[in-house]
């Protein structure tokens, strides 16, 4: 399906277009079929009740279907934002873990982590908003792994640090992969076909209503089509968690960079203080 | 639109309902003459209008239900992230208390300061939708403290490993809580909810009643109910804002339990 250009439109335009298309087609269909239906089927007010029965049945089924579709696409969205949050949490923890490594490894690893986060924000995110997968992040992660493993294991404390850092690193790798997997999450085409044809069917059934005044019929059809268009717009914008107006933002990664900046600003004094208190406690001991 | 979280919840509810009532009844009064004169509605057309309202109402009802559930889930998720952070801090506190003195005492003090900063500085900030990093420095200090401790025995080595692990869990839980600060319904969902409500209320204008007063009362009821649903969604949305939000009580309880059994 090459319908993804819809995600490049501004939200309001996309919403307006969807509703406009629905209204135009339904009202157009009503205008065209009105005379024919009236003549052929002799519709009258007394038939409205029966039409209502059918219409009610179809719209309640269609409503359930739409509900399911929206919940399903919402879950993809929710899942994707949780994965992003997990990856961000792992990166944050790893950044603290590597501060136990000696210099120059520490700075070097922190730089790698920072470049990885920058890469995610600047390269991966725009690419995944177009449904593309970039594998460049792996290079940073592999470099990082090499540095993590480069430890003198004779020291028992370093063993501990390494094993803990490796554990966090594995969490990061896992979350990274799962995020990449979620990029092409989306509703299957079949579901979309059913959603659109369900909307068309409900509108078609409503053509069989009879109004003394045709204008009421037109207005009612407009209202129905507006609502159907809105719902389809909603399902489409929630679908594809990394695309369109309702999509997962890279905010979490920006927040990481922001924390590290505020850390390094307050680093000097707090590190000194920690050093002093640590020194004092060793002396006491 | 966040000012709605600064007013008391009951006032928000009353305001939402009042706005819905005002616009739907105003719309009814204004359009009534035109609709009646132009469209020649009668008791017979009611059946058809009823069909449309049924269809539109069913779809809108599902949408409102879904949105209410989605905001509730976001709320629940944020609450469980806060619980998780508190629990991880609690187990870290227990773990560090097994260190020899004065290490144990120092580390426990740092954890207490951490919680106090979260409650006093970070929580008010996140109620305004801001992410504060003030408490992070205490975790850095703690990390440093743990790192400077040199295990003498195998037992202490095992303890050290466990403490590092617990600290990492705290760090992750903290980050995930911060991520939930700006959780909220995306704007397009709000548009659909509001426009959908307007469309369905406007459709009720096409009913015909021999007595106009009945029309006003029934439209009022319909608007009232829609307004209540929208109010519910708005109140639960944004888990850390407003009166219906997650409080730092868990963290306070944690602090209280620590000072009870030092």
Least confident span in A125-134, A164-173, B34-43:
B34-43
**Residues making up chain B, counted from first to last:** 262
**Residues making up chain A, counted from first to last:** 285
Does B57 sit behind a cis peptide bond, omega within 30 degrees of 0 on the bond before it? no
Q: Coil, strand, or helix at residue B134? A: coil
| pLDDT value of position A27 | 93
Three-state secondary structure along A168-191?
A: HHHHHHHHHHHHHHHCCCCCCHHH
Contacts of A45 in chain B (CB under 8 A): 44-45, 47-48
**DSSP structure class, residue B119:** I
Mean pLDDT of A138-153: 84
The rounded distance, in Å, linking the Cα atoms of A173 and A46 is 67
DSSP symbols for A2-35: --GGGGGS-HHHHHHHHHHHHHHHHHHHHHHHHH
Q: Give, in order, the Cα–Cα distances in Å from B218 to each of A169, B21, B88, B211.
A: 61, 11, 53, 12
Q: Give, in order, the Cα–Cα distances in Å from A197 to each of A190, A192, A202.
A: 11, 8, 9
Of A105, A106, A87, the residue nearest A96 (C-alpha): A106
Contacts of B54 in chain A (CB under 8 A): 52, 55-56, 59
Ramachandran category for residue B41: left, alpha or beta (phi over 0 → left; psi -120 to 50 → alpha):
beta
Question: Taking a C-beta distance cutoff of 8 angstroms, is the pair B32, B205 a contact?
Answer: yes
CA distance A61 to chain B (A): 9
| pLDDT value of position A282 | 32
- CA B58, B64, B70: angle at the middle one, nearest 5? 135
User: Chain A residue with minimal CA distance to B187?
Assistant: A246
| pLDDT value of position A284 | 33
A266 → closest Cβ in B59, B137, B189: B137
Question: What's the token pair of residue A215?
Answer: 């204008």
Give the CA count within 13 Å in the CB-facing half-sphere of A177: 6
Radius of gyration of chain A (CA): 29
| pLDDT value of position B221 | 94
Mean pLDDT of A196-221: 88
CA distance B5 to chain A (A): 23
A231 → closest Cβ in B59, B136, B151: B59
Question: Taking a C-beta distance cutoff of 8 angstroms, is the pair B147, A281 a contact?
Answer: no
Mean pLDDT of A101-124: 88
**Average pLDDT of chain A?**
83
Residue B5: Cβ-neighbour burial (10 angstroms; 0-12, 13-18, 19+): buried
Contacts of B173 in chain A (CB under 8 A): 89
Q: Give, in order, the Cα–Cα distances in Å from A152 to each of A102, A133, B160, B205.
A: 11, 37, 18, 79
Of B72, B65, B171, the residue nearest A167 (C-alpha): B171
Quote the pTM value.
0.80
Taken in order B248, B3, B25, B48, is the CA torsion positive or negative? Answer: negative
| pLDDT value of position A269 | 46
| pLDDT value of position B15 | 93
Best-predicted range by mean pLDDT among A47-56, A222-231, B18-27?
A: B18-27
Question: Taking a C-beta distance cutoff of 8 angstroms, is the pair A251, A197 a contact?
Answer: no
Contacts of B147 in chain A (CB under 8 A): 100, 157, 161
Q: How far is CA B32 from the centre of its chain?
A: 39
The rounded distance, in Å, linking the Cα atoms of A48 and B55 is 14
Question: Taking a C-beta distance cutoff of 8 angstroms, is the pair A150, A105 a contact?
Answer: yes
Please provide the distance, in angstroms rounded to a whole number, between the alpha carbons at the two ends of chain B: 45
A160 with B175: Cβ contact below 8 A: no
Least confident span in A33-42, A156-165, A271-280, B160-169:
A271-280
B55 with A212: Cβ contact below 8 A: no
Residue bearing the bigger pLDDT, A247 or B201: B201
- Where chain B has pLDDT below 50, the residues are none
The rounded distance, in Å, linking the Cα atoms of B113 and B127 is 20
CA distance A205 to chain B (A): 11
DSSP symbols for B153-221: SHHHHHHHHHHHHHHHHHHHHHHHHHHGGG----HHHHHHHHHHHHHHHHHHTT---SSHHHHHHHHHH
pLDDT surpasses 70 at A129: yes
Question: Taking a C-beta distance cutoff of 8 angstroms, is the pair B85, B174 a contact?
Answer: yes
């Amino acid at each position: 399906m090459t319908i993804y250009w819809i995600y490049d439109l501004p939200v309001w335009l996309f919403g307006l277009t969807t509703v406009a298309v629905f209204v135009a087609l339904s009202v157009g269909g009503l205008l065209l079929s009105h005379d024919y239906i009236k003549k052929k089927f002799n519709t009258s007010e007394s038939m409205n009740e029966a039409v209502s029965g059918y219409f009610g049945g179809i719209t309640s089924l269609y409503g359930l279907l739409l509900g399911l579709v929206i919940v399903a696409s919402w879950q993809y969205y929710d899942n994707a934002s949780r994965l992003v949050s997990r990856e961000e949490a792992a990166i944050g923890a790893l950044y603290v873990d590597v501060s136990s490594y000696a210099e120059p490894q520490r700075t070097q690893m922190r730089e790698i982590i920072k470049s990885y986060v920058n890469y995610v924000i600047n390269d991966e995110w725009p690419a995944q908003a177009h449904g593309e997968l970039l594998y460049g992040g792996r290079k940073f992660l592999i470099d990082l792994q090499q540095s993590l493993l480069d430890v003198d294991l004779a020291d028992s404390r370093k063993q501990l640090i390494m094993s803990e850092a490796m554990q966090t690193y594995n969490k990061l790798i896992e979350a990274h992969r799962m995020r990449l997997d979620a990029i092409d999450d989306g509703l299957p085409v079949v579901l979309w076909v059913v959603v659109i044809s369900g909307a068309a069917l409900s509108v078609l059934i409503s053509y069989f209503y009879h109004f003394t005044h045709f204008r009421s019929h037109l207005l009612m059809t407009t209202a129905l089509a507006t609502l159907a268009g809105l719902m389809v717009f909603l399902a489409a914008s929630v679908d594809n968690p990394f695309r369109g107006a309702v999509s997962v933002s890279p905010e979490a990664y920006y927040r990481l960079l922001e924390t590290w900046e505020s850390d390094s600003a307050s680093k000097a004094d707090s590190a000194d203080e920690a050093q002093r208190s640590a020194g004092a406690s060793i002396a006491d001991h | 639109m966040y000012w709605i979280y600064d007013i008391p919840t009951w006032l928000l509810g009353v305001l939402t309902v009042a706005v819905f009532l005002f616009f739907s009844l105003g719309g009814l009064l204004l359009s009534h003459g035109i609709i009646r004169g132009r469209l020649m509605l009668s008791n017979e057309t009611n059946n058809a209008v009823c069909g449309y309202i049924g269809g539109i109402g069913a779809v809108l009802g599902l949408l409102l239900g879904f949105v209410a559930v989605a905001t509730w889930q976001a709320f629940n998720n944020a609450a469980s992230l806060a619980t998780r952070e508190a629990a991880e801090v609690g187990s870290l506190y227990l773990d560090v208390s097994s260190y020899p003195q004065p290490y144990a005492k120092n580390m426990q003090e740092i954890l207490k300061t951490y919680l106090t900063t979260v409650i006093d500085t970070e929580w008010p900030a996140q109620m305004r939708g801001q992410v504060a990093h003030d408490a992070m420095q205490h975790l850095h200090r703690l990390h440093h403290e743990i790192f400077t401790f040199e295990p003498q025995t195998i037992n202490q080595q095992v303890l050290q490993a466990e403490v590092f692990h617990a600290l990492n869990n705290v760090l992750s839980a903290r980050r995930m809580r911060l991520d939930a600060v700006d959780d909220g319904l995306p704007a397009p969902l709000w548009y659909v909810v509001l426009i959908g409500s307007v469309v369905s209320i406007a459709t009720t204008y096409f009913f015909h009643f021999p007595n106009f007063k009945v029309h006003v009362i029934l439209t009022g009821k319909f608007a009232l109910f829609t307004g209540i649903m929208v109010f519910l969604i708005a109140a639960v949305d944004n888990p850390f804002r407003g009166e219906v939000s997650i409080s730092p009580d868990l963290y306070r309880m944690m602090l209280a339990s620590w000072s009870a059994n030092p």
